[in-house]
Amino acid sequence: MGKRWWMIFALVLASAACALSAEDSQPVKPPSGEQPAPVSGADYKVIQEIQVPKEYMVMPVMRVKGDGTLVLYVAQLEGEDLEYGVIANTTRLSNRLLETAKQQREKTGDTRIPVDAAAYRFTMVADLAVSPLWQGVAYAAMTSSAGPVVLMNRLTPPDYAPVVCVSGAFPSWLFGIGVGESIAVWAREGSKIKLIGQYPGDRIELEEGATPVGPAVIRGPRVAYVVSAANRCSLFINGKKVCGDYDAIEPAFCPRLKADQPNATEYALAYIARSGEKSVLVVDGKVQETEFVPVHDLTFAFGGDPYAYAASSGGREFVVRNGVRVTKDRDFARVGFLTFDDKKTKLAYIAADVKEGRRKEWVMIDDRKVTPDYDLVTFTQEAFRISGALTFAGLDAGKNSIAVGQLEEPAAPAASGQR
């Protein structure tokens, strides 16, 4: 692995489009003697509680399946050497890195390929990307001495068999039944960095000196991605530069029906671009006027209306929906994971703030809190988009356990003033 790959992978945690709860990479440590207070009168039910093995310290990367049967999370493993793993409930996902390395060394005769198990210890794990039907999960990992890799495991208990291993970074797309063939990653081929794997559109190749920032965003035949060169970011779509010279860019796609083909979907490019204290929101080439400062998590309901994003003012964040603040008199340390329901009337998201000296997270629907406070929380975006059902998973660091729950009744829709 060359030095450039280490540079590419170093961007994984800094700029990948992750959930709010992946904001920092420190383990969620138990409080000293403190236990979260029980919440009464909540409109949710806990359907299972997962006791995290004591040798695992949960990191702020977590996903939950819509039926509540499976929770994926990253954990730091107890021991003298720094090591991480991906856990499904309580089972650590296995990989075939050492086995593959031995086969490659035997096949090629290349003695530079390490065959020591210690070389394949994970010193960083990020970017849990789950296929829509929860058939597979892909994740990026940095190994102790064998460089960065992207791996995929099938989400079929009890063995959660590994199916893919690629030398590269940023799992960009998971779709379809053949999850092992439906992953796209940034990888080096010769002297070039390319997006490899099965995906629609032409093969993407970066210019010399450019490195990818986060995963590619793939919708239909359109592939959007951000690259960094000379410490400035540019946005490309299918190899064509859209804009550049920004500190950061977050692309998204606005799904809508084609005007001339009512049964066909098209994806208009949208993005938030930031430079210093200023930012701009652009949808389909048109700058959207807004009194707020959009910063991240741009999302659209099908058809393009409504849309929402996280905005910032005075170092605090809040959600804006179609130009209107969702919480008029309340802001947070951080908001993210913005998701519209199937009827486009509700907007779910994760909010975080410091309470009694500790950072806490919870799920909101519009301006209503719908879960207790947790040290780390996530919910099922895909199920909420499809049916409006919300399943969540919350970590109680004091108990080192994860509660999985579901809303028992629909939360109130947005106020009439929020279109």
Q: What is the pLDDT of residues 298-327, one digit of tens each?
A: 999 988 899 999 999 999 999 999 999 999
> Which three-class secondary structure state does DSSP give residue 180?
helix
C-alpha closest to that of 208 among 222, 194, 224, 226: 194
Distance CA 169, CA 215 (A): 8
Residue 21 gets which letter from DSSP? G
What's the pLDDT score for residue 96?
86
Express each pLDDT in 92-147 by its tens digit.
999 889 988 899 899 999 998 889 989 999 999 988 999 888 989 999 999 998 88
Residue predicted with more confidence, 351 or 145: 351
What's the pLDDT score for residue 10?
34
- Whether the CB-CB separation of 255 and 267 falls below 8 Å is answered with yes
Got the DSSP string for 320-355?
EETTEESSTT--BSEEEEEEE-TTSS-EEEEEEEEE
Average of per-residue pLDDT across 173-196: 73
Could you give the C-alpha distances from 91 to 56, 154, 160, 161, in angstroms and in order? 11, 13, 9, 12
C-alpha closest to that of 371 among 354, 395, 388: 395
Most confident of 76-85, 210-219, 398-407: 398-407
Q: For the chain, give the longest Cα–Cα distance.
A: 69
For residue 413, say if its preceding peptide bond is cis, omega within 30 degrees of 0.
Answer: no
What's the pLDDT score for residue 7?
34
Residue 12 has pLDDT above 90, yes or no: no
Residue 139 identity = Y
Residue 179 has pLDDT above 90, yes or no: no
User: How high is the mean pLDDT of the chain?
Assistant: 85
Average of per-residue pLDDT across 239-243: 93
The helix or strand, by DSSP H or E, that contains position 13, with its residue range, turns out to be: helix 11-15
Residue 33 has pLDDT above 50, yes or no: no
What's the pLDDT score for residue 41?
41
In this structure, the number of other CB atoms found within 10 A of the CB of residue 221 comes to 12
What's the pLDDT score for residue 125?
94
Residue 188 has pLDDT above 90, yes or no: no
Buried b (16+ CB within 10 A) or exposed e, 271-301: bbbbeeeebbbbbeeeeeeeebbbbbbbbbb
Domains of the chain, first to last: 3-407 (2.130.10)
What's the pLDDT score for residue 15?
33
Lowest mean pLDDT among 10-14, 164-168, 302-306, 387-391: 10-14
Distance CA 70, CA 135 (A): 12
What's the pLDDT score for residue 40?
36
Average of per-residue pLDDT across 367-392: 95
What's the pLDDT score for residue 167?
82
Determine whether 354 is exposed, middle or buried from the number of CB atoms within 10 Å of its CB (0-12, 13-18, 19+): exposed
Buried b (16+ CB within 10 A) or exposed e, 124-154: bbbbbbbbeebbbbbbbbbbbebbbbbbbbb
- Tokens representing 139 are 């994740």
3-state secondary structure 111-177: CCCCCCHHHHCEEEEEEEEECCCCCEEEEEEEECCCCEEEEEEECCCCCCCEEEEECCECCCCCCCC
What's the pLDDT score for residue 28?
63
Residue 80 gets which letter from DSSP? S
Most confident of 42-51, 287-296, 337-346, 403-412: 337-346
High-pLDDT (> 90) share of the chain, % = 58
What's the pLDDT score for residue 26?
60
Express each pLDDT in 41-89 by its tens digit.
457 899 999 999 999 999 999 999 999 999 999 999 998 889 999 999 9
- Whether the CB-CB separation of 319 and 336 falls below 8 Å is answered with no
Distance CA 274, CA 288 (A): 14
Most confident of 12-26, 91-105, 355-369: 355-369
CA atoms within 13 A on the CB side of 372: 21
For residue 158, say if its preceding peptide bond is cis, omega within 30 degrees of 0.
Answer: yes
CA atoms within 13 A on the CB side of 275: 10
Please identify which residue in the block is written with the tokens 């066909």.
264
- Structure confidence at residue 39 as a pLDDT band (50, 70, 90): very low
- Tokens representing 378 are 């996530």
What's the pLDDT score for residue 305?
92
What's the pLDDT score for residue 182?
67
Residue 6 has pLDDT above 60, yes or no: no
- Structure confidence at residue 200 as a pLDDT band (50, 70, 90): low
- Tokens representing 352 are 């975080």
- Structure confidence at residue 211 as a pLDDT band (50, 70, 90): very high
What's the pLDDT score for residue 319?
98
The helix or strand, by DSSP H or E, that contains position 74, with its residue range, turns out to be: strand 71-77
Q: What share of the chain is helix, strand, coil (3-state, %, to 5)?
A: 10, 45, 45
- Structure confidence at residue 264 as a pLDDT band (50, 70, 90): confident
What's the pLDDT score for residue 352?
98
Residue 24 has pLDDT above 60, yes or no: no
